[in-house]
């Protein structure tokens, strides 16, 4: 596990990296480990703020503008899933932010659920396992009925966040499309293609920058200081793309006045030790990503981008693989 988040010494860790023999071959791996942990921790801190943003956009007739970015909700959306395009006027490149809340029963749904359980009667463990492994027609009908679930509201738990980098034109008069800042064209999807299926939360797709299930489950009931968090980016390069998105989202959250929601989550995480599947040396690199986000107030600021940029400067070839925007820092 990492040290408690509040106790990580960022300066000492960064000095330790550069005091050792970092080669062009290892520079990319080091930077990607830092980036992955930074994305992971930032999402944990920012997830609730993104959920609040989705609900605010929904109440504002589907469009708001913060930090120079237009956040536009796509017309068709379900009660617990929101798909928002984030773009700038007269500039190419955009993002899609998908926010999915845990479905919550409506009053009618609660009655229907109780009726379903009454009809099912007492279940043995074997019966329950068989029902989970084999589709229950009655359960499928219940889940498919939208009237059984109410629209999401503030306070509901987030289920999943998904981000896609999009290639767009600078405006109707322009035929040339381009990715958002700091992202390579090959890591994007054309917005026209994306809009054919704007609610993408499962699996893999072109342009997917990150998918994340915010975690709040203690690994040990006897030690509440131990919590698990992880980045679900499809590969290291995508976590760099995820950082670029979170840098933009951090500006939007700040301008929207949602930083208190981020601070609340950050304060919740400060005494926690985070689990890792890596070796001890790599955990030190994860701590750099975590502490960089911590020192940015739970947001992705220039601090973590600068740390990664310094590592990547070891090799111009490796730098070009990262997808990071060299002008950011």
Region 268-282: mean pLDDT is 82
Q: Which of 81-85, 135-139, 252-256, 311-315 has the lowest mean pLDDT?
A: 311-315
Asked if residue 269 and residue 126 are part of one domain, the reply reads: no
Q: Which of 186-200, 286-300, 301-315 has the lowest mean pLDDT?
A: 301-315
Cα angle value 213/215/218 (rounded, 5°)? 155
Q: Does 259 map to a domain? A: yes
Asked if residue 160 and residue 262 are part of one domain, the reply reads: yes
Asked if residue 82 and residue 69 are part of one domain, the reply reads: yes
Length of the chain: 329
The 10 Å CB-count burial string (b at 16+, else e) for 6-42 is: eebebeebbeebeeeebeeeebbebbbbbbbbbbbbb
- Quick: pLDDT tens for 198-221: 999 888 898 999 888 876 554 444
Q: What whole-number distance in Å separates Cα of residue 100 and Cα of residue 157?
A: 9
Q: What whole-number distance in Å separates Cα of residue 110 and Cα of residue 103?
A: 12
Per-residue pLDDT, 49 = 96
Q: Does 327 map to a domain? A: no
Asked if residue 136 and residue 17 are part of one domain, the reply reads: no
Contacts of residue 310, defined as CB under 8 A and 6 or more positions apart, other chains included, come to 18
Q: Which residue from 329, 301, 298, 299 is spatially nearest to 313, judged by alpha carbons? A: 329
Q: Does 4 map to a domain? A: no
Q: Does 166 map to a domain? A: yes
Asked if residue 241 and residue 122 are part of one domain, the reply reads: no
Asked if residue 134 and residue 238 are part of one domain, the reply reads: no
Does 5 or 217 have the greater pLDDT score?
5
Contacts of residue 36, defined as CB under 8 A and 6 or more positions apart, other chains included, come to 231, 233, 236, 239, 286, 289
Does 204 or 43 have the greater pLDDT score?
43
Asked if residue 186 and residue 48 are part of one domain, the reply reads: yes
User: What confidence category does residue 236 fall into, taking pLDDT thresholds of 50, 70 and 90?
Assistant: low
Sign of the dihedral defined by the CA atoms of residues 44, 39, 200, 95, in that order: positive
The 10 Å CB-count burial string (b at 16+, else e) for 107-116 is: eebeebeeee
Per-residue pLDDT, 216 = 54
| pLDDT at residue 87 is higher than 90 | yes
Contacts of residue 54, defined as CB under 8 A and 6 or more positions apart, other chains included, come to 73, 82, 84, 97, 99
User: What confidence category does residue 5 fall into, taking pLDDT thresholds of 50, 70 and 90?
Assistant: very high
Q: Which of 155, 189, 224 is the last residue of a domain?
A: 155
Residues forming beta bridges with residue 169, ordered by sequence position: 177
Per-residue pLDDT, 221 = 47
Contact predicate 106/147, CB 8 Å? yes
**Domain tally for the chain?**
2
DSSP structure string for 119-182 = HH----HHHHHHHHHS--HHHHHHHH-GGGEEPP-TTPPEEEEEEEEEEEESSTT---EEPPTT
Asked if residue 268 and residue 142 are part of one domain, the reply reads: no
> Which ranges of the chain does DSSP label H, i.e. alpha helix?
10-19, 24-59, 107-120, 125-133, 137-144, 191-194, 236-255, 259-269, 280-295, 302-312, 316-322
Q: Which domain holds residue 151?
A: 103-155
Give φ, ψ of 77 to 5 degrees.
-150, 150
Region 146-151: mean pLDDT is 88
Q: Which of 118, 139, 155 is the last residue of a domain?
A: 155
Residue 33 has, within 13 A of its CA and on its CB side, a CA count of 19
Residues forming beta bridges with residue 212, ordered by sequence position: 161
Q: Does 5 map to a domain? A: no
Asked if residue 284 and residue 180 are part of one domain, the reply reads: yes
Asked if residue 54 and residue 192 are part of one domain, the reply reads: yes
Q: What whole-number distance in Å separates Cα of residue 32 and Cα of residue 38?
A: 10
The 10 Å CB-count burial string (b at 16+, else e) for 221-250 is: eeeeeebebbbbbeebbbbbbbbbbbbbbb
Q: Does 3 map to a domain? A: no
- Quick: pLDDT tens for 94-141: 999 999 998 899 899 899 889 888 888 787 888 778 777 877 788 888
Asked if residue 269 and residue 204 are part of one domain, the reply reads: yes
Q: Does 329 map to a domain? A: no
Q: Distance between alpha carbon 125 and the CA centroid of its chain, in Å?
A: 36
Q: Does 2 map to a domain? A: no
Is the pTM higher than 0.75? The answer reads yes
Asked if residue 83 and residue 117 are part of one domain, the reply reads: no
């Amino acid at each position: 596990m990492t040290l408690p988040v509040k106790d990580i010494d960022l300066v000492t860790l960064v000095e330790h990296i550069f005091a050792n023999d970092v080669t062009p071959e290892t520079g990319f791996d080091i930077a990607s480990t830092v980036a992955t942990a930074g994305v992971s921790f930032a999402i944990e801190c920012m997830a609730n703020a993104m959920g609040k943003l989705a609900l605010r956009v929904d109440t504002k007739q589907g469009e708001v503008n913060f930090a120079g970015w237009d956040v536009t909700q796509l017309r068709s959306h379900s009660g617990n899933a929101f798909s928002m395009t984030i773009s700038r006027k007269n500039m190419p490149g955009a993002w899609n932010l998908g926010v999915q809340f845990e479905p919550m029963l409506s009053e009618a749904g609660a009655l229907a659920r109780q009726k379903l359980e009454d009809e099912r009667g007492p279940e043995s463990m074997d019966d329950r396992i068989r029902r989970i492994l084999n589709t229950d027609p009655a359960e499928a009908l219940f889940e498919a009925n939208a009237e059984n679930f109410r629209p999401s509201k503030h306070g509901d738990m987030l289920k999943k966040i998904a981000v896609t980098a999009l290639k767009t034109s600078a405006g109707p008069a322009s035929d040339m499309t381009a990715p958002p800042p700091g992202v390579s064209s090959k890591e994007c999807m054309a917005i026209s293609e994306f809009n054919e299926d704007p609610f993408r939360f499962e699996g893999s797709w072109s342009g997917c920058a990150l998918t994340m299930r915010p975690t709040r489950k203690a690994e040990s009931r006897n030690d509440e200081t131990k919590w698990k968090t992880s980045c679900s980016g499809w590969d290291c390069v995508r976590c760099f793309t995820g950082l670029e998105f979170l840098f933009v989202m951090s500006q939007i959250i700040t301008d929207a006045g949602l930083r208190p929601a981020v601070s609340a989550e950050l304060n919740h995480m400060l005494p926690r030790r985070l689990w890792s599947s890596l070796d001890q040396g790599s955990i030190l690199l994860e701590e750099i990503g975590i502490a960089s986000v911590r020192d940015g107030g739970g947001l992705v600021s220039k601090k973590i981008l600068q740390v990664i940029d310094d590592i990547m400067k070891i090799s111009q070839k490796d730098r070009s693989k990262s997808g990071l925007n060299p002008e950011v820092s």
